[in-house]
Amino acid sequence: GENVEQHPSTLSVQEGDSAVIKCTYSDSASNYFPWYKQELGKRPQLIIDIRSNVGEKKDQRIAVTLNKTAKHFSLHITETQPEDSAVYFCAASARGSQGNLIFGKGTKLSVKP
Amino acid sequence: EAQVTQNPRYLITVTGKKLTVTCSQNMNHEYMSWYRQDPGLGLRQIYYSMNVEVTDKGDVPEGYKVSRKEKRNFPLILESPSPNQTSLYFCASGNTGELFFGEGSRLTVL
């Protein structure tokens, strides 16, 4: 089945610096790649997503890049702020359905003021 | 308000005592899924359903059952809970894009 690897598992940055989280996936049929943010004690919520016909997508301080050939996608957060501190999950669609997501193990991002 | 509702939110039970965690969504989503979240292991898929009466195993289905008799409901059944099923459980629903998660159900099996 689909496997999603996510690195690093923890990331600590200084406020204002950039943060990059990387994921790889195994299923070449995957065509939808969302990123979720989970704040402490809360549910995961979508922050940005990308589909396989696009190489890059930006939304203010966050951006996602996709390399389908390498089966690799990344989340970039610029000008990090303390409120960006959370666990971030990448995911890839699996089993032929965009709605059916397999998640990476998560990255705990800490932004130090 | 569009939402995914899980119940109970918190439960402490004992080994072998059957329990059901309910999940209901009001967004007319075709797809629903259950995940468990454990420290260091991320969100692991237990079961998913592409539509009414269509369910399939995820990555960690052992010890769980599900049913999808109506579009809005997708209960998770633990027939004989064991301590290794102590976890935080999330139900989610969606169509062809964003998944919406419930608030989570924290289950402890003693």
Half-sphere exposure of A85 (CA within 13 A, CB side): 13
pLDDT in the model for residue A1: 73
**CB pairs A-B closer than 8 Å:** 60
Higher model confidence: residue A20 or residue A28?
Answer: A20
Range 37-96 of B in CB contact (< 8 A) with A: 40-45, 48, 50, 56, 59, 90, 94-96
Nearest 5°: CA angle at A54, between A49 and A58? 50
Pairwise CA distance, residues A88 & A83, whole Å: 13
Q: Is the pLDDT of residue B95 over 90?
A: no
Pairwise CA distance, residues A22 & A90, whole Å: 8
A65 touches chain B (CB under 8 A): no
Half-sphere exposure of B49 (CA within 13 A, CB side): 25
For residues A12 and A112, the answer to whether their CB atoms sit within 8 Å is yes
Ranges assigned E (strand) in chain A: 4-7, 10-14, 19-25, 32-38, 45-51, 56-59, 62-67, 72-77, 86-94, 97-103, 107-112
The single residue listed with the structure tokens 């996510």 is A6
pLDDT band at A96 (very low <50, low <70, confident <90, very high): low
Q: Do A101 and B96 touch (CB under 8 A)?
A: no
Q: Do A97 and B31 touch (CB under 8 A)?
A: yes
Higher model confidence: residue B101 or residue B2?
Answer: B101
B57 contact partners, CB below 8 Å, separation of at least 6? B47
* B14: its two tokens: 């004992």
Mean pLDDT for all residues in chain B: 95
Nearest 5°: CA angle at A29, between A23 and A32? 55
Contacts of B40 in chain A (CB under 8 A): 9, 105
Pairwise CA distance, residues A91 & A6, whole Å: 9
Best mutation target, A21, A53, A100, to test chain B (most B CBs within 10 A): A100
A57 contact partners, CB below 8 Å, separation of at least 6? A48, A49, A50, A63, A64
Q: Which tens digits make up the pLDDT trace of A57-91?
A: 999 999 999 999 999 999 999 999 999 999 999 99
Pairwise CA distance, residues B39 & A29, whole Å: 29
A81 touches chain B (CB under 8 A): no
Mean pLDDT for all residues in chain A: 93
List Cα–Cα distances, A40 to A83, A86, A110, B7, B100, in angstroms: 11, 7, 12, 20, 17
**A46: which DSSP letter?**
E
Half-sphere exposure of A44 (CA within 13 A, CB side): 32
Share above pLDDT 70 across residues of chain A, in percent, rounded to a whole number: 96
From B29, B50, B101, residue closest to A43, measured CB to CB: B101
